[in-house]
């Protein structure tokens, strides 16, 4: 390639220029029509794939927005990250589109179309745009920036490595000569080949965009575990202890990783298994404090201080929830109500904002309204007289959203649950019973019923196929579609609608299924 001349050429320079033109013409002749047609076929295929990818990605963003509308606080952090991904992806995609159009204009004139090149074998257009005009270096920097952004949004080492390799722009050494990345892409490259390579970059962008958006959607539930603020918590069985009784408290770190055991100390003494337990005798309030050391991946530890207190008193009424310190509206919450030294048959309780009743040796309460405190008042008959022992106030919350899973039978014949994002044996998948829902909390035995769901997969042409079930079971068409998927393929269970005992219909997070 030559630019404007600043000085007259010598006869030798003219001869070299003429030889370069002859060589360029010979190279153009060597690019056969079959090869150029091959580039066009590949580019057409990539263009069709890109159209499907755009529709797929818009669907993922739609699902993300829907989840954010349902729970802005929980989803907000991940939605902002998805917006960063979308902005970066769209900007880079459009920049590559502009390069393709400019190559086509140089090759075919102002009406040039990169998807229908007339001079597909033109060896000058790509180099003019990518090398002479410097667009190749700009693209190289943009790809590196894009890779750095998306790599920084994931924690999975394999995904980091995948994105890094996908957008690698290293120089190469060919025959002992270092060749810049932009020369590899644009220098002496037929226009059709350059356009096809650029389409491949766009395809990489859309596929990576889908992968990271699916990852971010998956992190919505994970954020329940990895919260923005991690703090130490002291969970006593009760802050009020009977004289002569035993004080027992569980000291934990909220959202702790179960694979990393923290070191807990109280008053300089290490507490085993997080159980702080000792006998008490003196009536009154006692304060105590300590620290939790949580191991980090880099070998260091993060310290979280905590403090709490307990009160030792004379015998009195005890009212505590069997499951936690809140009640759930529309659900039978088990409650223990007792007065030390008084038989259960002589203990009575009432609640104005819920249905409180005996159940076996305990009690069940069904609050009527979310946000309205539930106050349990206790009386006991002693020596034939009813005495008031006060009560306790509980917060009332709505049931947490359940998660969807595919119910199936494992190789040993035992029932199991598949919640996505890992390989699923096709034989077990085909024989599965359908989609079910449950809370991610073993302490709450809440029954949910799946009303409907959608199964989305992609056919051999990359088209998105959606099949709907109006029940909790797979339809015959859905089962047939699953049976036709080969190993390594994936599909999605989305728009899962389920209802619980509170009669509230919820839409659950999608399930990504990897066919093994």
pLDDT of residue 98: 94
Residue 184, helix vs strand vs coil: helix
Which tokens sit at 226? 């990895």
Which tokens sit at 103? 């190559």
* pLDDT values of the chain reduced to their tens digit, one per residue, 516 residues: 444 343 444 454 445 445 444 444 444 444 566 677 767 777 777 778 888 888 888 888 888 888 888 888 888 888 888 889 989 989 998 999 899 899 989 988 998 888 888 888 888 888 899 898 999 899 999 999 999 998 998 888 888 898 888 888 888 887 788 889 888 888 888 988 888 889 888 989 988 888 888 888 888 765 343 434 566 777 776 554 544 446 778 787 766 566 667 888 998 888 887 788 877 777 667 888 999 887 765 567 778 898 887 766 555 555 655 556 788 888 888 888 888 767 788 889 999 888 999 988 789 999 988 888 889 999 888 767 888 888 888 999 888 889 999 999 888 889 999 998 889 998 899 889 899 999 886 567 788 999 999 999 998 888 999 999 999 999 999 999 999 898 889 999 999 999 988 888 999 999 999 998
Which residues form the domain of 473? Answer: 403-515
Q: Which of 222, 248, 280 is the last residue of a domain?
A: 222
* The length of the chain, given as a count of residues: 516
pLDDT of residue 287: 86
Residue 359, helix vs strand vs coil: strand
| Alpha-carbon span 232 to 250, nearest angstrom | 11
| Alpha-carbon span 449 to 98, nearest angstrom | 51
Q: What is the largest CA-CA distance in the chain?
A: 127
Quick one: 234 and 137 in the same domain?
A: no
Residue with the two structure tokens 């079930």: 469
Residue 2 lies inside a defined structural domain of this protein: no
| Alpha-carbon span 485 to 483, nearest angstrom | 6
Q: Which of 279, 295, 314 is the last residue of a domain?
A: 314
CB-based burial, 247-259: b 16+ in 10 Å, e otherwise: bebebbbebbeee
Quick one: 271 and 186 in the same domain?
A: no
Residue 164, helix vs strand vs coil: helix
Quick one: 252 and 279 in the same domain?
A: yes
Residue 128 lies inside a defined structural domain of this protein: yes
* Cα→Cα distances 174→67, 181, 183, 184, 385, Å: 50, 12, 12, 10, 99
Orientation angle between helical segments 72-108 and 135-151, nearest 10 degrees? 160
| Alpha-carbon span 172 to 179, nearest angstrom | 5
Quick one: 178 and 97 in the same domain?
A: yes
Quick one: 361 and 500 in the same domain?
A: no
| Phi-psi label, residue 416: left if phi above 0, alpha if psi -120 to 50, beta otherwise | beta
| Alpha-carbon span 481 to 490, nearest angstrom | 11
Quick one: 391 and 436 in the same domain?
A: no
Residue 160 lies inside a defined structural domain of this protein: yes
| Alpha-carbon span 512 to 223, nearest angstrom | 18
Q: What CATH number is given to the structural domain containing 303?
A: 2.60.40.150
Quick one: 333 and 267 in the same domain?
A: no
Residue 23 lies inside a defined structural domain of this protein: yes
CA–CA–CA angle 345, 346, 347 (5° rounding): 95
Q: Count Cβ atoms within 10 A of the Cβ of residue 377 and give its class: 0-12 exposed, 13-18 middle, 19 or more buried.
A: middle
Domain count, the chain: 4
Measure CA 362 to chain center: 40
pLDDT of residue 490: 92
Share of the chain above pLDDT 70, in %: 83
Quick one: 333 and 278 in the same domain?
A: no
CB-based burial, 151-167: b 16+ in 10 Å, e otherwise: bebbeeeebbeebeebb
Phi, psi of 57 (to 5 degrees): -65, -40
Quick one: 307 and 433 in the same domain?
A: no
H or E segment and range at residue 81? helix 72-108
Closest-CA residue to 87 (of 216, 219, 215, 209): 209
H or E segment and range at residue 16? helix 11-30
Residue 5 lies inside a defined structural domain of this protein: no
pLDDT of residue 191: 87
Residue with the two structure tokens 């919640």: 419
Residue 487, helix vs strand vs coil: coil
Measure CA 352 to chain center: 42
Number of neighbouring beta carbons within 10 Å of residue 414: 7
- In the DSSP assignment, the letter for residue 147 is H
| Alpha-carbon span 384 to 77, nearest angstrom | 60
Residue 261 lies inside a defined structural domain of this protein: yes
- In the DSSP assignment, the letter for residue 66 is H
Closest-CA residue to 207 (of 145, 136, 138, 159): 159
Q: What CATH number is given to the structural domain containing 323?
A: 2.60.40.10
pLDDT of residue 319: 62
Quick one: 382 and 499 in the same domain?
A: no
Quick one: 168 and 35 in the same domain?
A: yes
Are the C-beta atoms of residues 408 and 340 closer than 8 Å to each other?
Answer: no
End-to-end, the C-alpha distance of the chain in Å comes to 52
Measure CA 205 to chain center: 19
Q: Which of 181, 201, 222 is the last residue of a domain?
A: 222
Quick one: 204 and 239 in the same domain?
A: no
Which tokens sit at 394? 């509980």
| Alpha-carbon span 49 to 57, nearest angstrom | 12
Are the C-beta atoms of residues 390 and 439 closer than 8 Å to each other?
Answer: no
Residue 121 lies inside a defined structural domain of this protein: yes
Residue 252 lies inside a defined structural domain of this protein: yes
CA–CA–CA angle 330, 351, 357 (5° rounding): 70
């Amino acid at each position: 390639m030559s630019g404007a001349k600043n000085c007259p050429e010598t006869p030798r320079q003219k001869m070299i220029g003429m030889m370069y033109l002859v060589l360029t013409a010979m190279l153009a002749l060597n690019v056969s029509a079959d090869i150029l047609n091959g580039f066009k076929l590949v580019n057409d295929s990539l263009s069709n794939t890109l159209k499907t990818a755009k529709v797929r990605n818009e669907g993922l963003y739609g699902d993300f927005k829907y989840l954010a509308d349902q729970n802005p606080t929980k989803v907000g952090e991940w939605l902002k990250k998805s917006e960063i991904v979308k902005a970066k992806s769209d900007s880079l995609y459009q920049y590559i589109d502009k390069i393709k159009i400019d190559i086509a204009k140089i090759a075919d004139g102002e009406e040039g179309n990169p998807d229908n090149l007339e001079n597909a074998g033109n060896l000058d257009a790509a180099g003019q745009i990518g090398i002479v005009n410097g667009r190749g270096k700009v693209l190289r920097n943009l790809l590196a920036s894009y890779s750095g952004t998306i790599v920084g949004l994931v924690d999975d080492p394999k995904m980091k490595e995948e994105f890094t390799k996908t957008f690698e722009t290293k120089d190469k050494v060919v025959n002992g000569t270092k060749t810049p990345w932009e020369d590899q892409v644009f220098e002496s490259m037929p226009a059709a080949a350059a356009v096809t390579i650029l389409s491949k970059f766009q395809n990489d962008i859309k596929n990576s965009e889908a992968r990271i958006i699916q990852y971010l959607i998956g992190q919505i539930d994970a954020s329940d575990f990895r919260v923005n603020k991690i703090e130490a918590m002291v969970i006593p069985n009760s802050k009020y202890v009977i004289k002569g009784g035993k004080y027992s408290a569980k000291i934990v770190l909220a959202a702790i990783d179960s694979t990393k055991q923290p070191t807990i100390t109280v008053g300089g003494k290490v507490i085993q298994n997080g159980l702080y337990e000792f006998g008490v005798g003196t009536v009154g309030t006692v304060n105590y404090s300590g620290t939790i050391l949580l191991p980090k991946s880099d070998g260091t530890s993060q310290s979280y201080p905590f403090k709490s207190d307990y009160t030792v008193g004379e015998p009195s009424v005890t009212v505590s929830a069997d499951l936690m310190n809140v009640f759930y509206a529309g659900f039978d919450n088990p409650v223990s109500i007792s007065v030390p030294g008084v038989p259960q048959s002589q203990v009575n309780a009432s609640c104005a904002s819920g249905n409180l009743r005996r159940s076996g040796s305990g009690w069940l309460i069904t609050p009527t309204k979310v946000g309205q405190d539930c106050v349990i008042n206790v009386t006991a008959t002693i020596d034939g007289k009813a005495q008031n022992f006060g009560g306790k106030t509980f917060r009332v919350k709505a049931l947490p959203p359940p998660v969807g899973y595919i119910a199936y039978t494992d190789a040993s014949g035992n029932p199991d649950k598949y919640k996505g994002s890992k390989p699923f044996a096709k034989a077990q998948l085909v024989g599965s019973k359908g989609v079910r829902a449950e809370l991610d909390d073993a302490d709450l035995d809440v029954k949910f019923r799946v009303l409907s769901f959608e199964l989305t997969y992609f056919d051999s042409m990359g088209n998105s196929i959606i099949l709907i079930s109006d029940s909790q079971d797979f339809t015959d068409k859905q089962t047939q579609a699953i049976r036709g998927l080969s190993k390594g393929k994936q599909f999605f269970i989305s728009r899962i609608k389920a209802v619980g005992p509170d009669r509230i219909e919820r839409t659950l997070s999608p399930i990504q299924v990897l066919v093994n």
